[in-house]
Amino acid sequence: MHSIEITKETCTIVQDGVKVASVPLVDLVAAIQAQAEQTPPLDLIPDGVRFLRRRGDAVAVVTEVMPVARTVQWLADNSPVPFGPKAVYRTVRLSFPYVVLVIVFQRGALTGYQQCFYRNAPLSSLSDPLFLPNLYNVAERSGQACWLCLAKLTPSVARLGWGRKLAEIHDHLWGGSWNRSSEVHEGNSFWSRPAVDRRVSSIEAWEKHSAADPRFAVTLPWKPANTTVEKVMSQMLDAVAPLRTPKTADAVAALLLNAAPAGAGGAAGTAPTLAGILGLLK
């Protein structure tokens, strides 16, 4: 038989009346929090996913789209309204660089924390820098530098599996309509900012140079977002599922009950096993 004794400063594991392990509570809490922020064990990681991070019931997913020319619907200059059913669009084929989406889900649902960035090279690490896009429907909002509008998808993707969930988001991104809704609702969009290069200074110029070179967008001097994949993932997870450091022995005990690995007494209301607790401390 074993027991776990928690005091103000330490956690002690006793087995058959003998103390077998004792660690400072601060170390135990740090180990539990590290356990709570790991890559989710997805059976099949969908195509295009570069990084994953779980924190409790929240998951941050980073996807990357290869540079390519895409046919999209772009708000026409003569549209009578900036967005909505009466808006008028033109079909254009545009060159895009690498497009990086960082999206945080909670219990499988969109949370409103979703960002879109550019890069001129593929992602290779969490420390890679990100760059600002030049798109309608991407804006500064709620502390997010490059918030991406996915309003129409908010209630519908929660019930889908991971592969279909991400496919729906990408279908919406490329198959939807680019318009001035962010100018109206958020007061800004990245298309409204000064162009980084004359070749994308207008939709006509962008379309013309895309026809000449479908990959020319990876040669443009996109503006740095002054952040990295790691920082964006952490900031978004902090907003959706902030880490809460327990202040009392009772709070640490409750955290232990929820953090012990499955198969080692990790179910709620079940005391963690010795192997489970020691596993958290490795």
pLDDT at 199 over 90: yes
How many domains is the chain partitioned into structurally?
2
Kindly tell me if the per-residue pLDDT of 176 is higher than 80. yes
Residue 44 resides in a domain: no
Looking at the fold, whether 136 and 97 belong to one and the same domain comes out as yes
Does the pLDDT at position 13 exceed 70? yes
For residue 188, being part of any structural domain is answered with yes
Cβ-based neighbour number of residue 150 at 10 Å: 20
Average pLDDT of the chain?
A: 84
pLDDT, mean of residues 97-101? 98
Does residue 45 lie in a domain region? Answer: no
Q: State whether 252 and 128 are in the same domain.
A: no
Q: Are residues 148 and 104 in the same domain?
A: yes
Q: What is the mean pLDDT of residues 99-106?
A: 96
Q: Are 66 and 156 within one domain?
A: yes
Which range among 13-17, 101-105, 119-123, 179-183 shows the weakest confidence by mean pLDDT?
13-17
pLDDT single digits (tens) 55-72: 888 999 999 999 999 999
Asked if residue 218 and residue 268 are part of one domain, the reply reads: no
**What is the per-residue pLDDT for 245?**
65
Q: pLDDT band at residue 264, thresholds of 50, 70 and 90?
A: very low
Q: Are 104 and 141 found together in one domain?
A: yes
| Judgement on whether residues 21 and 87 belong to the same structural domain of the protein | no
Which of the four pLDDT bands, split at 50, 70 and 90, describes residue 262?
A: very low
Structure tokens belonging to residue 258:
């929820």
pTM for this predicted structure: 0.77
pLDDT-derived band at 247, boundaries 50, 70, 90: low
Q: Indicate if the pLDDT at residue 273 is higher than 90.
A: no
pLDDT of residue 260: 46
Nearest to 34 by CA among 53, 49, 51, 18: 53
Residue 16, pLDDT > 80, answer no
CA angle, 206 then 207 then 213, to 5°? 85
Q: Do 158 and 211 fall into the same domain?
A: yes
The answer to whether position 11 is within a domain reads yes
For every residue of 241-276, DSSP letters joined together read: S------SHHHHHHHHHHHSPTTTT-STTSPPPHHH
Same structural domain, 228 and 267: no
Q: Which DSSP string do the residues of 100-119 spell out, in sequence order?
A: EEEEEEETTEEEEEEEEEEE
Q: Give the CA radius of gyration of the chain.
A: 24
Instruction: Measure the CA–CA gap between 153 and 112, rounded to whole angstroms.
Output: 10
Is residue 175 located within the same domain as residue 275? no
Structural domain that includes position 20: 2-37+244-280
In a domain, residue 19? The reply is yes
